[in-house]
Amino acid sequence: MKHNMFTLIELLVVIAIIAILAGMLLPALGKAKEHAYGVSCLSNLRQINLAHTSYMDDNDSHFVDFTPPTFRGKTLVLLSYMHLLDSYVPMIDYVSTNNYGKCLDILRCPSDKKFNNFYNKGMAGETPSYYLKCGKDNPSYGYNRCLSSSQEYWRFNKTYSLVKSPSRKLMFADSLHSGEAPRTSQQSDQLNVPNVVAPRHNKGANILFVDGHVETRRGADLEKILSSTANEYSVYLWPDYTVTE
C-alpha cells in the first residue's frame, strides 16, 4: 500500500513559509501591542485629570501641591502630588504595603519598564532605606512643578485662570526615571525641565495639558517641547509665559 508522506524538502518548504509569515506578522503584532499600551496610558492621564480637577474644585482653583507635608494624618518626608490626589482617585498602595511609596496602576504607563522604581529597589534590599517609604521615583508620570502651590515653589503659586496658553502648557506627562538619560538626579514625579518627558510610545510621549486635554506628541511637535530650554523656565512649563510657536 502506498502512503502519502511529506518529503524532507516539502517539510522544509512548509517551515520556511511559516517562518516568513511569522516574520511578517510579528512587527504588526508588536505595533498593535504598543498602540494598546498608548491607549491605556492616555486613559490613565484622563483619570489623573479627573482627580486633579476635583482637587482644584476643593482648593480655590489652585494646582496640586508638589511637596505635601502629610499623608493620611502622618507627617512624612519625600511625598508628592499623588499623595494628595489619592483621596480623589486611589493612587497609593498604603493599605497592603503600609509604606506610602508604592504606586497603583493608574500611575503606570504600560510601556514604562521602571515603574515603582524606588519601591522595587527597596524590596530588593538596596539602600538608602527611604526607597520603601518614598514614592517620588515610582510613577510613570511627572507633574509640572512650576504649577505647584507649595511653599517651596511659592513664586509659582497660580490658579488656573492665571496660566497663559493652558492648551499648550504641560501639567502631567510620561516622565523619565532617575538615571534614564538625560535625567540624572531628579525623580520621575516631576517635570523639572522639559527634556525629561519620556517618548515611550513609538517615539511619542503622552501629555496631559493644563486645559485638561490629553494627546500624544511626537516628531517635530515633541521636539519643540524637549528642546525649548535646559531649565524650568520653558514656555511649556512656566505659567507666566505665552506659547507662540
pLDDT of residue 180: 92
Which string of b and e fits 82-94 if b means at least 16 CB within 10 Å?
Answer: bbbbbebbebbbb
pLDDT attached to residue 133: 79
| Max Cα distance, the chain (Å) | 93
Q: pLDDT digit of tens for each residue in the chain (245 aa)?
A: 555 666 777 778 888 888 887 777 767 666 777 878 999 999 999 999 999 999 999 988 889 988 777 777 777 767 889 999 999 999 998 877 677 889 999 999 999 999 999 999 988 888 887 788 788 999 999 999 888 865 454 455 678 888 999 999 999 999 999 999 998 878 999 998 899 999 999 999 999 999 999 999 999 999 999 998 767 678 999 888 888 87
Q: What is the pLDDT of residue 154?
A: 46
pLDDT computed for residue 70 by the predictor:
77
CB 205 within 8 A of CB 222: yes
Distances (CA, A) of 142 to 98, 224, 230: 23, 18, 17
Among 207, 214, 203, which residue's Cα sits nearest to residue 236?
A: 207
> Cell triple for residue 120?
522595587
What is the spatial distance between Cα 6 and Cα 174, in angstroms, rounded to a whole number?
A: 53
pLDDT of residue 105: 95
Please answer whether residues 132 and 119 qualify as being in contact, where contact means their C-beta atoms are separated by less than 8 angstroms: yes
Whole-prediction pTM: 0.85
Nearest CA to 137 out of 164, 107, 94 is that of: 107
